[in-house]
Amino acid sequence: MKTNKTCAIIADIKKMDTLLPLTNRRPVSLLPFDGIYRMIDFNLSNVIDADIHSIYMIFNQGMTQSVIDHINGGKEWNLNSLPNRYFMHFFQGLKERNPEEDHYYDSVIEYIQKSDSEFTVFMGNKMLCNLDLSQVRNVHKMHREDITVVYKKMPQEKIAPEDIILDISDNGKVKGITSAQNAIVENEVDNLFMNICIVKSDWLIQELTKWRQNEDIATIEDVLKDAIKTKTTWAFEYTGYLSNIFDIKSYYDANMEMLDSSKFLSLLHSSKKIYMKNINEVPTYYAKTSRVNGSQVAAGCLVYGNVEHSLLSTGTIVKENATISDSIVMAKSTIKKDAVVKYAILDKNVVIEEGVSVIGTPENPIVIKKNAHIVEDMIQMEEQVDESLILHSGV
């Protein structure tokens, strides 16, 4: 293997029912973010900016169409250039897997071997950050151990029960790990493992070969978490902006925080650039009747009504006297005349009929699924809405 050469594995096979219906037919990492990005744009950008030229992505079978549509040839991330390569693998769970097919790990091991890399970076699917992976690699090389993990000190309300909390010594060595739901509450902040680590490629091949003998299929993420318990592991502290997206509320909050200029600049305009898919759209049209305050509006929208403290994606139409406030509107949705949308997340291609109100709460934003046509008021005060009010919905 070539000294210092690094490859990357981006894994998105961890399903989160807490993000339904937004993840009905798309992986978590393909969720839209801040009107014009997808969550996977951040991991891809972090990898490319660290001069890593080989990427292996893993998605669940049946959840790939949006991935292919988004990444396509990969030119926006320079993946189509001569030195860069990316590969996709479609994960099958125990129920879907044919016992006669190659083991899940076989293709991963083959990829790492062919990458000819000394180090392998692993990244999960739900943390948004602007991370300098070259700094993590330098720390890993300095300590000369098998694993270096990335963490951030986070308030407990922004940590999911299934997240991993690290116990770290004063010199930066990991002393132990605990599931957040089992952690003893002692401090206002905890050391959140960001599901990002760098390991020696030879060591990872040995571990996967060993785990291959088990009948059950553990994900690479699980293999790495198990190794942290027993192997000498060093920790790298990330101090930039981080969003940990694990349910509807955290997804809503992460998007709305982009209306805060300091958080927006920290995540999207630090020293490193976040690359996204090119959007070939005409400029947004603002009619004389429109009123827009404290919002982000993507290109290609038509705004005749009122938009307050909201994020609008490409192709959104806001008709006369319609009002959108404190909401996220994904691409190609239409809010007709006199309609009201407040504390809501509208997925793609949603239509809100004239005079209809769709209203959630700050703690419980209402979610309208993709292709839905809303014809009567939907006022969500608690957990559920009346599905019969949706005239038509697709997937």
Q: pLDDT tens digits for the chain (395 residues)? A: 666 689 999 988 877 889 999 998 889 999 999 999 999 999 999 999 999 989 998 888 777 788 888 888 788 888 887 677 777 777 765 555 565 566 778 888 999 999 989 999 999 989 999 999 999 999 999 988 889 999 999 998 999 999 999 999 999 999 999 998 877 666 788 999 999 999 999 999 999 998 887 766 678 888 999 999 999 999 999 999 999 999 999 999 999 999 999 999 999 988 788 998 887 889 999 999 999 999 999 999 999 999 999 999 999 999 999 999 999 999 999 999 999 999 999 999 999 999 999 999 999 999 999 999 999 999 876 555 555 555 444 33
Residue type at position 3? T
Output the pLDDT for position 101: 62
Considering the chain, tell me which residue range(s) the CATH 3.90.550.10 domain(s) occupy: 6-269
| Residue 124: HSE in the Cβ half-sphere, 13 Å Cα cutoff | 27
What are the DSSP calls for 44-59, one per residue? HHHHHHTT--EEEEEE
Output the pLDDT for position 380: 78
Provide CB contacts within 8 A for 166, sequence distance 6+: 149, 151, 174, 176, 177, 191, 192, 193, 235
**DSSP-H helix ranges across the chain:** 40-49, 65-71, 104-115, 133-143, 201-211, 220-230, 248-256, 261-268
Fold classified for 6-269: Spore Coat Polysaccharide Biosynthesis Protein SpsA; Chain A (3.90.550)
> pTM score, two decimals?
0.90
Output the pLDDT for position 394: 39
* CB-CB neighbours of 247 under 10 Å: 14
3-state SS track over 188-234: CEEEEEEEEEEEEHHHHHHHHHHHCCCCCCCCHHHHHHHHHHHCCEE
Considering the chain, tell me which residue range(s) the CATH 2.160.10.10 domain(s) occupy: 285-379
What are the DSSP calls for 251-288, one per residue? HHHHHHGGGSHHHHHHHHBSSSBPP------PPPEE-T
Output the pLDDT for position 1: 61
Give the angle 40-43-46 at the CA atoms, nearest 5°.
145
Output the pLDDT for position 2: 63
Output the pLDDT for position 284: 97
Burial label for 337, CB within 10 Å (0-12, 13-18, 19+), is: middle
Over the Cα atoms of the chain, what is R_g?
Answer: 22
The yes or no reply on domain 285-379 and CATH 3.30.40.10 is no
Phi then psi dihedrals of residue 349, to 5 deg: 60, 35
